Amino acid sequence: MTIQLIAGLGNPGAKYDKTRHNAGFWFVDELARRYNASFNFEKRFSGEVCRIVVKNQPIWLIKPTTFMNLSGVAVRQLADFYRIPVEQVLIAHDELDLNPGTVRLKHSGGHGGHNGLRDLHAHMTKDYWRLRLGIGHPGDKNKVHDYVLSAPSLNDSIAITNAIDAAADSIELITAGDMQNAMQQLHGRT
C-alpha cells in the first residue's frame, strides 16, 4: 500500500514556527524543499497544500492551518476530496516520548494525549501511518504545554533536524509502501 498524502502537524503563524510542536511542519517543509514544491493556501482543505512527485508517484503534502487541536478537519477534507484511503495517509508529528533525534515509523495506535492525533481520530479511523519525530519530554507533565510551544535548545534543534533529514532520506521507501525497510533504516540510526 503506497502513501498518497503526508500531513505535517503544527500550528500556523510566525509565533509558532520554531516551536517543538511544529516538527511535523518542519518535515513536510523539508520534503517540499527537496522536491522543489511550494505550499499554497487552499481554503477548501483548511491548509497549505502542495504536490510532490517521488519516483513517478504524486504525493500530496498538507500543513493544516486549523491549529494543532483541529488537525483532523484539514486532513480529512483533502483525503476525502482525492479519495485517499486512511491507510495511504502518513501523519508527521512531534513525539514527547522519544528523545530529540529519534524518529519512528508506526502504523495505527492510540493518540497518547497528543491533541492533533486525538482530533485525527475524531475525523477518521486511526489506521493511518505515523512518522514520530522525537522532541523529548520536560520531565514534568505540568510543563508539557509550555515545553511543546517553546523552541528547542541548539543541541535538540540539531538532533531534530538530523532526524527529519533521515526521514526525508527514507521517503522513497515510505511512499512506495516498503515500511519494513523504511523502519529498519530509520530505527537502526544511532
Report, as residue numbers or ranges, the catalytic residues. 21
The DSSP bridge pattern shows strands 89-95 and 57-64 to be unpaired
Helix (H) or strand (E) holding 93: strand 89-95
The set of cell numbers assigned to 137 is 519530554
Burial 85-110 (b: 16+ CB within 10 A, else e): ebbbbbbbbbbbebebbbbbbeeeee
Grid cell 519494513 — which residue? Answer: 180
Nearest residue to 3 via CA among 51, 50, 60, 41: 60
Amino acid identity of residue 177, one-letter, is: G
Distance between CA atoms of residues 104 and 28, nearest Å: 16
